[in-house]
Amino acid sequence: MIKITSSFLLVCCLFFTLVMANVPLEKQLVASINQQLEQSQRLLIETVNINSGTQNFAGVKQVGMIFKQQYDALGFTTQWLDGSAFARSGHLVATYESNSSPSAPKIMLIGHLDTVFAKDDSFQVATLLDNKRIAGPGITDMKGGDVIMLAALQALHKQGLLSQMNIKVVLTGDEESSGRPLALSKQALIEAGKWADIALGFEDADGDINTAVTARRGSVGWTLSTTGNAAHSSQIFTEAVGYGAIFEMARILNDFREQLSDTPLLSFNPGIIAGGTRLTDTDASTLESFGKRNVVAQVATVKGGLRAASGQQLLETKAKMHKIVEQHLAQTDATLVFDEGYPPMQQTPGNLELLNIYSQVSLDLGYNKVSPVNPRNAGAADISFVAEHVDMAIDGLGLMGTGGHTKDEVADMTSFAQNIQKTAVLLYRLSVQQ
């Protein structure tokens, strides 16, 4: 694997000097991308017009098979990994290992096939708004990114450069709603991460083409349940009855806010709450309760999310939250349970160096400098399961736009050709640093 050392950085500097001698070759790459741009846009529209909401297993696989055919045509070894073991459609893995340059860096490209839009959603097809904007379900998150990575590889293949590369593409079918257990649903990602030296993610990040993601906060769900003594409300606060489940819940949530809300890059949110005499926990997004104004609440439940910048911050926060929960009001009890979640993608020197290489590519192509996204603005993504296994990783190289996860999802098509070009040149430059 490529180790990030001072000598490695020196090699990178020398490498850039050598690369500048190949500017005509890079211009040929750009020209090839521009020639196939209309074809790439047609593929984008075709895949956007196929509903692939996470639970629409057939739709997810249909999109996967379209990309499988494209990667087969480039000489990749492709495999559809069935997702029935983790209650999802599955993943597509495409691998190209060079015979002529076996020591070239192993580069992993990450995308996903699924969207947040269900099979019966009213938002189903792409709509051309003008010559710079296209609306469509999942067009930026992230079928645009899937097409960008493919188009870059097609251009490299056309110029005879793909043969010197080691590439593994993983297009997951459950990024928007991960299958369980995570050990199975993320196995393909993790195995590819262990194979790779470098990971590139093609999410749309914060929608700004002049930024990329070098760090992401981890995300984990939590459920807090409290209990108390049901009794006539006239007896609340007495020694025999105590404070009830809802006051215990209120104490805990307020202590969370007071003790944790100022922690840098940490956020936690109680998203769903219910309480009363009876409570039914229907599913991850539904709580149903019954109670009366004159009865002390016997049960209460909150479901929330927690985002942390590092594994250490996550562990420390969990410990503080458990400690707060244990300080019960009279005649109450409480339990706090954390779900499986996405690990943080921590900031590393390697990630920042990879961003610098990518930014220089952007500048050399006549575009702008690329700066890191504030981790506070970067949600969890599949690359989080990979980052700890590679030496260098960045995300946010996909199709830019606005309104992701809503019916106002619109792609900024001025970013389409730019990011295909930047990806192709980046892959070329990375492939020759050996």
Q: Is the pLDDT of residue 1 over 90?
A: no
| 83: amino acid identity, one letter | G
What is the pLDDT confidence band of residue 293, given thresholds at 50, 70 and 90? very high
CB-based contact 137:73 (threshold 8 Å): no
What domains sit in the chain, N to C, each tagged with a CATH number? 6-216+345-431 (3.40.630.10), 218-342 (3.30.70.360)
Average pLDDT of the residues in 39-49? 98
The H-or-E segment that residue 357 falls in is helix 349-364
CB-based contact 117:373 (threshold 8 Å): no
Report the pLDDT value the prediction gives residue 321, as an integer from 0 to 100. 98
pLDDT in tens, 104-161: 999 999 999 999 999 999 999 999 999 999 999 999 999 999 999 999 999 999 999 9
Tell me which of 417 and 21 has the higher pLDDT: 417
CB-based contact 185:178 (threshold 8 Å): yes
Q: Closest by alpha carbon to 324, among 244, 246, 219, 248? A: 248
Share of the chain above pLDDT 90, in %: 90
DSSP SS3 for 397: coil
What is the pLDDT confidence band of residue 2, given thresholds at 50, 70 and 90? very low
Encode 398-422: b = buried (16+ Cβ within 10 Å), e = exposed.
bbbbeebeeeebbbbbebbbbbbbb
Q: Is the pLDDT of residue 178 over 80?
A: yes
Report the pLDDT value the prediction gives residue 285, as an integer from 0 to 100. 84
| Segments in 159-260 forming alpha helices (H) | 182-185, 187-195, 244-260
Q: Is the pLDDT of residue 377 over 60?
A: yes
Q: Is the pLDDT of residue 4 over 70?
A: no
User: For residue 35, what are the CA distances in angstroms to 48, 207, 264?
Assistant: 22, 25, 47
Instruction: Compute the radius of gyration of the chain from its Cα atoms.
Output: 25
Q: Is the pLDDT of residue 267 over 80?
A: yes
pLDDT in tens, 323-361: 999 999 999 999 999 999 999 999 999 999 999 999 999
pLDDT in tens, 48-62: 999 999 999 999 999
CB atoms within 10 A of CB 293: 6
What is the pLDDT confidence band of residue 180, given thresholds at 50, 70 and 90? very high
